[in-house]
Amino acid sequence: MPFVETEVKLDFKDVLIRPKRSSLASRAQVSLERTYTFPNSKQTWSGVPIIAANMDTIGTFQVAEVLAKRKCITAMHKHYTVDEWKAWAAGPGREVLPYVAVSTGILEKDIDKLAEILKVVPQLKMVCIDVANGYSEAFVNCIRDVRKRWPELTIMAGNVVTKEMTEELIFSGADIIKVGIGPGSVCTTRKQTGVGYPQLSAVLECADAAHGLGGRIVSDGGCTCPGDLCKAFGGGADFVMLGGMLAGHDECGGEIMEEGGQYFKVFYGMSSDTAMKKHAGGVAEYRSSEGKTVKVPYRGPIDETIRDCLGGLRSACTYVGASELKELSKRTTFIRVTQQLNTVFTDSTKANPVKVEPPPDAKRVKV
């Protein structure tokens, strides 16, 4: 018989963080760097735990070069060739590799390609094993095989949204569990399948399970503004992965489109018909598209957006008296709310919005 859970599950929009007494005099006093030693790879990583998503237009070499300067990670999309990896790692990527994860699927051809990339770029220490449905037996077996073949490789794997599967993946060899099914801005899994889990509750529950085993989680999807990152970290996420929030920038993949004097870049989900036509020749007969394609207003250099996110995170820490990011979850109390924002001026993202135009030499397409 079907079972109905009656406990209310929460999304980022359902809560705010309660402020607390603080001895911090300035946001500049807050440290956002974390140091983790992973349970299975035994590797230690230090940096700012924000990850650019492994999507075609987000997880690019160019994005990685910028984010690495802020000590943030980029999970590369899995469609770069071995030769492209080799050339980049020998050139501008040489100093960036500590803040890069190579992505792979779970098919035999995916693992063969992963092996080739790791052979030509042995400095890579982190892999992102990425499937839409992290509950399959084939996925778990793949993690076990990768762990056995590369014992010292830090494995980020997902996606899941429940305690028991978080524990299963860590027991199988994963170090960082990707948490999130359906919350992404260009994901339509919930619409197409009816499957999902409110993101904040997923983070709270999976973090509790992972930390009990010495593992880590990354909140993947659902962030619409810097405040949502703060709530994810406050809820126990060790990393936060961003896709839509990083779309539309110079360093993102794709050309700039001009339409009616406005500039855009295309952004699409990796299960969208756009992605499947590009990489698999189309949507297979037995499945449906679970992603959408959108035009995102052109936003200029990505570093400004990252700086804005880091500034919001530092400010959240000062509001609760956390001098370090690792203290944020200990000092976070969520309060249930019926309204997040004052929406009188819904079109304005900043007090004085400025139209951003691409540089004259940028590639562009007129629509």
Residues forming the active site: 187, 189
* β-strand pairing of 334-336 with 256-259: unpaired
Catalogue the long-range contacts made by 110-119 (C-beta closer than 8 Å, 24 or more residues apart).
110/78, 111/142, 111/145, 111/146, 113/78, 113/82, 114/146, 115/149, 116/82, 117/82, 117/85, 118/150, 118/153
* β-strand pairing of 256-259 with 239-242: unpaired
Question: CA–CA distance from 54 to each of 51, 204, 324 (Å)?
Answer: 9, 23, 27
Buried b / exposed e across 250-267, counting CB within 10 Å, b at 16+?
A: bbbbbebbbeeeebbbbb
- Tokens encoding 232: 């994810």
Rounded to whole angstroms, the Cα distance separating 187 from 271 reads 8
Q: Taking a C-beta distance cutoff of 8 angstroms, is the pair 49, 35 a contact? A: no
- State the alpha helices, DSSP H only, in 21-107: 61-67, 82-90
- Tokens encoding 7: 């406990």
